[in-house]
Amino acid sequence: MIQTPIKKNLKEITSDYAKIPASSRNGSGSGAAKGRSGGYKNTAGMGRRTFDSNPKNKSSFGSSRKSAPPKKRKMVSFAPGKMVLWSLLLGVCGYAYITHVFTTQQLLQEVSQVQREYSRVQMIYEDRSLTFDRMTGPADIFLRARELGYQDSGPADYVIIMEK
Residue by residue, DSSP assigns 59-107 as: -TT---SPPPPPPPPPPPP--HHHHHHHHHHHHHHHHHHHHHHHHHHHH
Cβ–Cβ < 8 Å for 129, 122: no
According to the model, what pLDDT value does residue 1 have? Answer: 54
For residue 138, which phi and psi values (nearest 5 degrees)? -60, -35
State the pLDDT at residue 30.
Answer: 47
Query: For residues 59 and 42, is the Cβ–Cβ distance under 8 A?
Result: yes
* 10-residue averages of pLDDT along the chain (164 residues): 58 68 58 48 53 54 65 76 94 98 98 98 97 88 88 73 82
Give Cα 106 distance to the centre of its chain: 31
Residue 67 backbone class (left: φ over 0; alpha: ψ -120 to 50; beta: rest): beta
For the chain, what are the domain ranges?
1-63, 91-148
